Structure 1
Amino acid sequence: LLLSKDVGKHLLEVEDLLQKHGLLEADISAQTERVQALNAAALKFSELEGYQPCDPQIICNRVNHVQTCLEELGELAGKRRKELEDSRQLWAFFQEMEEAEAWIREKEKILATKTCGRDLSSVLTLTTNHKSMLGELGNRRALLHQTMKRGEQLLAKKRWSPGGIQEKIREVRLRWKKLEEVTGLHQHRLQEALNFFQFSSETDDLVAWLQDTYRIVSSDDFGHDDYSTQALLRKHRGGVEVQIRVVEVEQLYGEVVEVAVLRQQWLQDALAVYRMFGEVHACEVWVDEKEQWLERMEVPEELDEVEVVQHSTKPVPSLSVPPRVASEAAAPAEGSIPRWNRVVELVEEKKNHLSSILKIQNYLLEC
């Protein structure tokens, strides 16, 4: 039993093996007391004087052998218990991860079937339920982190194959991330629905108030005495104050719209400027490459090589400053135009040099 390699294939089996091992350890403990008593009694025979029924050395050797076997048995029992406890930790980890996966699947189904409500009351109820779910999600997150930490500790022991543990952690982590994304998306939808229905409710209240105000201001009732007329006048003044407030709100709204349009134009202008900066930078890089190439270029003396070099420099003299860069990049890139002119000068210089050498070579060839 102590030499068995069976450490269980699931948590219940490991628990059963641990229970059996506990009984075995209790039996070993009981037998240990009996063996120690027998060893003590046997050692007394090795200390007798006179007649000795057995050689004392043989008795001592037997006692030592039994004691050694007993110690080895205890070590095997301890090793077996450690293996079973490690196995229990492993399968407990897998079971907790499977429970977490099942919980995630359940919440995914709930979120997939949830609506955003049909009115303000239903949206408020769904929002309250969602807040409760967020609290549950936070508690589950803490438990899941603890379970994953235990999985990492199992990996650190290097007792088990890391593939299964790492794969399970990766799968659950991905599913948890997806659940959080879905939860956040549902919360965003609930907030949008809440804003819409609140706005709709406030609009309905405003329409009702306007209808009531219109009924008051269009009434033919001017009172029947001083007291009733003053009451009607106070109501009318309240309506006038609200009208003034509405006008102020409309004016503020118009100003907000104007500023928003202006800011949009500013953002578009800024985007155009930064794109232009990118084009100017690309142009500067190109100019720098051509300038270095022209400075490193050596003019050969042989006719064939001169013709090859002249052919390779033909596209270069046709360079011209792009109009957009020349007009728009003047302020941010003041050094671009002088460098461009430097490249043009180098091209002309190399071209004239090549032409001179080519004429000389042709003249020598004709002679």
Structure 2
Amino acid sequence: MAQVPGAVDNMEGLPTSNNNNLSTRWESPDRGWEREQPAASTAAASLFECSRIKALADEREAVQKKTFTKWVNSHLARVGCHIGDLYVDLRDGFVLTRLLEVLSGEQLPRPTRGRMRIHSLENVDKALQFLKEQRVHLENVGSHDIVDGNHRLTLGLVWTIILRFQIQVIKIETEDNRETRSAKDALLLWCQMKTAGYPEVNIQNFTTSWRDGLAFNALIHRHRPDLVDFSKLTKSNANYNLQRAFRTAEQHLGLARLLDPEDVNMEAPDEKSIITYVVSFYHYFSKMKALAVEGKRIGKVLDQVIEVGKIIERYEELAAELLAWIHRTVGLISNQKFANSLSGVQQQLQAFTAYCTLEKPVKFQEKGNLEVLLFSIQSKLRACNRRLFVPREGCGIWDIDKAWGELEKAEHEREAALRAELIRQEKLELLAQRFDHKVAMRESWLNENQRLVSQDNFGYELPAVEAAMKKHEAIEADIAAYEERVQGVAELAQALAAEGYYDARRVAAQRDSVLRQWALLTGLVGARRTRLEQNLALQKVFQEMVYMVDWMEEMQAQLLSRECGQHLVEADDLLQKHGLLEGDIAAQSERVEALNAAALRFSQLQGYQPCDPQVICNRVNHVHGCLAELQEQAARRRAELEASRSLWALLQELEEAESWARDKERLWLRDALAVYRMFGEVHACELWIGEKEQWLLAMRVPDSLDDVEVVQHRFESLDQEMNSLMGRVLDVNQTVQELVEGGHPSSDEVRSCQDHLNS
């Protein structure tokens, strides 16, 4: 039979037999649970007793089978399994494996598929091996016993399982000596403790003490008085009591009905069946008590949870408010739009300082309080062994610290920006003051120079006007040098406008005023220069007129000379000089006309008149009169010089005619001599040529060498004579050429004679 070490021994309360025969022990009428009866003295009594014991054993076996089957089904119901016959359905090992998995909560090796005996033996061996691993002592129970459907060993195995997983866990400590009892004694003690004080309920064992059903009702009434009216139960009505208890346990407590009234209300109820059923009460009520205790603890925990929940709500509310304030403040102080004035920026800086010293410390204290509140929440949760509180996204301390860091960063940037803006506004104020000072200085200077250039005291002589021009050029240079300072005012105004100075309109108006005055001054200077240039040009024209009048007076002095020349050359020279003088007069007359026209243009100017037009006209008329007088005098002088030249030319022509006649006479005589000589040379040449032609015609070729040599010598002499004659012919040709070129009256005859000679 299977046994649980210690617990089973205590429950059996009997020493183990020497042969350890499980079948013998199981067939014993008390199996160690009741006191042994003394042996009968007679054989008949012994036989009757054996028959009676066997009948009781068979009856108990049937009750056990029914009870164990219901117990197995109550647990297999959780996995959707059910058995009909305990002996048959445990043979293949499948149901046994599932039962052990449900009771232990562990996963057993997967059963082998197959319907052969070897497969069933293997599966049962796996289940028995699992029980051995759970330190369940199995004696004389093998896999073949279960597979073969051995009734007693199968019941013994199920009882061993009930002991291990249902009864062995029961332990109750007494209050006097703190003694730890066995599982069976503990269960009995628990029943006695729960039924103490109930009339006619005296539990001393797990057999006869339960026959009347009062013990079952007492257990139910102890834990659920609403289900049982114990005062109406009587000891004599056992079946009703049992039926009522079993039905109530099944319907209201959910306990499987493992027994029927007839299984208990008998002479010797089966102890194991009653223990199995009572154990289900123990586990249910123990669990109910644990649940009640757990409920109280949960109630306390719920109170703590509610308290912590309120604190958490408070934390999240405060965190949300603080974060909203931080985000709102960051949005406000991140605004880089500042007042566009020094006083406005100073006020903003004072407001920021007030925020840093008054408002922010309060919020910093709130931040510290939030950290303390979160620590308190976490401490309470740790005390309750609960999961720590995790603030919702965006409301954690780290989020607050991050937002606070952003706030401090924004504060730093705000302060830096305010300081920078304050410095900028101070610089702008200094720049504006500098601008106002420069504007005052420039306006004073411009007014003074406008007054200065408005005066036209140029004078009436060229040196005075030239001095006034030099002074004006100095004024222009001073004004041109001052332009940079005026532009400096404009640049200051532009800088103020670029920096967004709050009084930029006034600055712009002052700048425009200075620029208008500057433009007015430059216009006045330009107009004054124009007037000066007109005066200077007119005075230069007047000066040129003076020069021209002086020149014309000098010319008139030269034209008054009475010298007309002593001969033709001198007369020609005087006339040529007078021509040059007339050329100068003509050229200067053009210049005089240009000067007069230029002067008259000044008298026709519209607006400003550099001089009285009448004065200009008088000077023009004077110059024009002097020019006319000079031209008239030059004409008289030319007439005188031409008359003188004509006289001297006539005299010179007479002398030249006389000289020409003499020259012609000399030339005729020279040409006549040349002609005579030429004719003589031509005659001589013709005679020589004729002579030589006759000799050549008459000459014969000699017969002797000596004569040939003589002829050769004569030819050589002839060559020399011909060369000499050629020179004379060339002289004749040259003479003829000179005569022809000289236009000799006998040129044709001379050329004819030449041609005859050359031919």
Q: 1:191 Cα deviation (Å)? A: 0.8
1:61, 1:5 → 2: CA distance? 32
Deviation at 1:44, TM superposition (A): 3.7
Shift of 1:156: 1.7
Per-residue deviation, 1:147: 1.2
1:174 aligns with 2:619: no
Matching residue of 2:642 = 191
Q: Partners of 1:149 and 1:73 in 2: how far apart?
A: 33
The alpha carbon displacement at 1:103 in A equals: 0.7
| Aligned twin of 1:74 | 522
Q: Which amino acid aligns with 1:138?
A: A
Q: Which residue number in structure 2 is paired with residue 162 of structure 1?
A: 613
Q: 1:26 to 1:205 in 2, by over 3 A?
A: closer
- In the alignment, is the contact (CA less than 8 A) between 1:43 and 1:63 conserved in 2? no
Whole-Å separation in 1 of the counterparts to 2:499 and 2:623: 72
Cα distance between partner residues in 2 of 1:58 and 1:83: 37
CA distance, structure 2, for counterparts of residue 173 and residue 114 of structure 1: 26
Partners of 2:482 and 2:646 in 1: CA distance: 77
1:58 to 482, 506, 511: 506
1:153 corresponds to 2:601: yes
Shift in CA distance, 26/208, structure 1 to aligned 2, threshold 3 Å = closer
- Does 2:480 correspond to 1:32? no
Are 2:561 and 1:110 aligned? no
Partner of 2:453: 2
Report the Cα offset of residue 78 of structure 1.
0.9
Query: Structure 1: 5+ residue runs without aligned partners?
Result: 217-225, 231-367
**Do the aligned partners of residues 90 and 209 (structure 1) sit closer, same or farther apart at CA in structure 2, a change above 3 Å counting?**
closer
> Structure 1 vs Structure 2: percent identity of aligned residues?
23
- Cα separation, 2, equivalents of 1:7 and 1:22: 13
Q: Deviations over 1:100-159 (max 9, x none)?
A: 101100000011124212332321221121122122222212222221221122122152
Indicate yes or no: 2:567 matched with 1:119: yes
The code of the aligned residue for 1:131 comes to G
With the length of structure 2 as denominator, give the TM-score of the two structures: 0.26
Q: How does 1:124-143 map to 2 (within 5 A)?
A: 124-143=572-591
* Change beyond 3 A, Cα 1:56–1:201: closer
Residue 162 of structure 2: aligned partner: none
* Higher RCO (CA 8 Å, separation ≥ 6 residues): 1
* Shift in Å, 1:43: 4.6
C-alpha distance in structure 2 between counterparts of 1:41 and 1:206, whole Å: 99
| Aligned amino acid, residue 612 of structure 2 | S
Letter in 1 for 2:588: R
Which has more radius of gyration? 2
**For this pair of structures, how many residues does the alignment match?**
215
**Counterpart Cα distance in 1 of 2:568 and 2:491:** 87
Asked whether the 8 Å contact 1:120–1:197 carries over to 2, the reply is yes
Decide which of 465, 489, 492 is 1:14's aligned counterpart.
465
Question: 1:56-88 CA distances to partner (integer Å, 9 max, x unpaired)?
Answer: 443333222212211111111111101100101
CA distance in 2, matches of 1:4, 1:183: 48
How big is the shift at 1:93?
0.9
Answer yes or no: is the 8 Å Cα contact 1:117–1:123 preserved in 2. yes
Report if aligned partners of 1:7, 1:83 keep a CA contact under 8 Å in 2: no
Distance in structure 2 (CA, Å) of the matches to 1:19 and 1:170: 32
Q: Could you report, residue by residue, the CA deviation over 1:229-285 in whole angstroms, capped at 9, with x for unpaired residues?
A: x9xxxxxxxxxxxxxxxxxxxxxxxxxxxxxxxxxxxxxxxxxxxxxxxxxxxxxxx
Q: Which has the higher helix share?
A: 1
In structure 2, distance between residues paired with 1:33 and 1:208: 89
Query: What secondary structure sits across from 1:7 in the alignment?
Result: coil
Give the deviation of 1:209 after TM superposition.
8.8
Q: Report the CA distance between 1:208 and its aligned residue.
A: 8.3
Root-mean-square deviation (CA, aligned residues, Å) is 3.2
One-letter identity of the residue aligned with 1:59: V
Structure 1 residue 162: Cα displacement: 0.9
Query: For residues 122 and 44 of structure 1, do their structure 2 counterparts lie closer, same or farther at Cα, with a shift above 3 Å needed?
Result: closer
Distance 2:580 2:496 in 1: 77
2:489 equivalent to 1:41: no
Unaligned runs of 5+ in 2: 1-451, 666-671, 677-759
Q: Secondary structure at the match of 1:113?
A: coil
The letter of the residue matching 1:82 is: T
Matched, 1:93 2:544: no
* 1:214-363 equivalent positions in 2, closer than 5 A: none
Post-superposition offset of 1:46: 5.5
SS in 1 for 2:604: helix
Task: Give distance in 2, aligned partners of 1:123 and 1:132.
Answer: 14
Contact persistence 2:548–2:592 (CA under 8 A): yes
Evaluate the alpha carbon distance shift between residue 27 and residue 200 of structure 1 in structure 2; reply closer, same or farther with a 3 A threshold. same
CA distance in structure 1 between the partners assigned to 2:498 and 2:571 by the alignment: 93
Paired with 2:657 and 2:484, the residues of 1 have a C-alpha distance of 91
2:738 aligned residue: none
Q: Separation in 2 of the partners of 1:83 and 1:29?
A: 19
Matched-pair contact (CA < 8 Å) for 2:462–2:539:
yes
